[in-house]
Structure 1
Amino acid sequence: MTSTLPVTPAILRTPSDLKAEAVAAIVKALNPLIADAFAVYLKTKNFHWHLSGSHFRDYHLLFDEQADQLLASTDPLAERVRKLGGTTLRSVSHVAGLQTRPDNTADVVAPLDMLLELMDDNRAIAASMRRAHEVCDEGRDYATASLLETLIDETERRTWFLFQAAQGLEHTQ
């Protein structure tokens, strides 16, 4: 049977006691998470920059804080991929090819729609992280599983804040 494992240049293959198949599966699960973090980071900054309305200050600060958290999650995840001997994202087009969360390029988005869209994005990211955690468990990669547990908690906190901020709002521009 021919192997379909990704080819990592020899100079980048970090030695690991994990099986090559497990590493490949973990890398395959992590790279879209990193891409989604970048994509939702940019969407959150977009909403931060283009927000208007009576809750401007509160949402402006909330979106900025959440964007920082998303961006901060990318380096530990990418470094886990490298520690395992895999390769990770190289460009914006690579992000676009791996991201699972849709972009939002609308000129105007109502504040409630911003909150609900980001809440949905974060819920989906948490679900993807749980699936990646299962892959890590199967491959006996406890360090990556532990990192994901922390990131799941942070993602659930973002979802909670967005959900609570959306309570009682109406769809207005």
Structure 2
Amino acid sequence: MSTEKTVRKQSGEVEDNELRLDREKSKEIVEALNDDLADSYTLYHQLRKHHWNVEGAEFRDLHIFLGEAAENTEAAADEIAERLQALGGAPVSSMPNLAERSTVEPEDSNVYAIRESLRNDLAMYGDVIESLREHVELATELGDHATAQILRDILVQTEEDAHHIEHYLEDDTLVAETSNE
């Protein structure tokens, strides 16, 4: 581990940027993007957990889908982090800070039946989607149309992945859970 302690930028600090967006507006957007970044990593880790632990009749398809959905989420996180850095901010990055910053509640570390896992994923996707929509509006209102477009593009992919999960949860997919009747 490095012993270097020279800090170039404090976490939470927003500097002037070359994008010609006012620092106060940038601060608001950076705050929102850091929430989106933390939420993305929370979703990413939950999707990876389910990717690793999926079993059952549709294992292969779900394993592939969950891996791709996690990759989509990781790519979104990267876009968000790069944008907030361009705005003069510092992306939240340590695991404790990401966990503290996340506005979505992850599933615990136990392994559940795939239907329950997918329902938990879908609930988290819904929260992430709502937040992305709010932040698209915020960026638009503050005149940061590029950030709004980046978030719109992420929103399209996020909604598409959530919609796929809806299809997996239909009655005619996956092996139905047995009841004790």
Work out the CA distance in 2 between the residues paired with 1:30 and 1:103: 19
Work out the CA distance in 1 between the residues paired with 2:56 and 2:98: 32
Is the deviation greater in 81-90 or in 153-162? 81-90
TM-score (normalizing by structure 1): 0.88
Give percent identity, aligned residues only: 28
Does the 8 A contact of 2:16 with 2:23 survive in 1?
A: no
Q: Say whether 1:53 aligns with 2:56.
A: yes
Alpha-carbon deviations, 1:57-82, whole Å to 9, x = none?
Answer: 11111111100100111111111101
SS at match of 2:131: helix
Q: Say whether 1:154 aligns with 2:160.
A: no
Q: Say whether 1:111 aligns with 2:117.
A: no
* Structure with greater contact order relative to length (CA < 8 Å, sep ≥ 6): 1
Other-structure match for 1:92: 95
Q: Which amino acid aligns with 1:153?
A: V
Give 1:51 shift: 1.4
Does the 8 A contact of 1:113 with 1:171 survive in 2?
A: no
1:11-30 → structure 2 map (5 Å cutoff):
13-30=16-33
Alpha-carbon deviations, 1:28-63, whole Å to 9, x = none?
Answer: 111011111111111101011111122211111111
Alpha-carbon deviations, 1:101-148, whole Å to 9, x = none?
Answer: 222234221111111111111121111011111110111001000001
Q: Say whether 1:44 aligns with 2:47.
A: yes
Q: Which amino acid aligns with 1:34?
A: L
Q: Which amino acid aligns with 2:13?
A: V
Give 1:171 shift: 4.1
Work out the CA distance in 2 between the residues paired with 1:113 and 1:79: 34
Work out the CA distance in 2 between the residues paired with 1:47 and 1:77: 24
Other-structure match for 1:3: none
TM-score (normalizing by structure 2): 0.85
Q: What stretches of structure 2 of length at least 5 have no aligned partner?
A: 1-11
Work out the CA distance in 2 between the residues paired with 1:16 and 1:98: 26
Other-structure match for 1:64: 67
The alpha-carbon distance between structure 1 residues 171 and 25, as it changes in their structure 2 partners (threshold 3 A), is farther
SS at match of 2:34: helix
How many residues get paired? 164
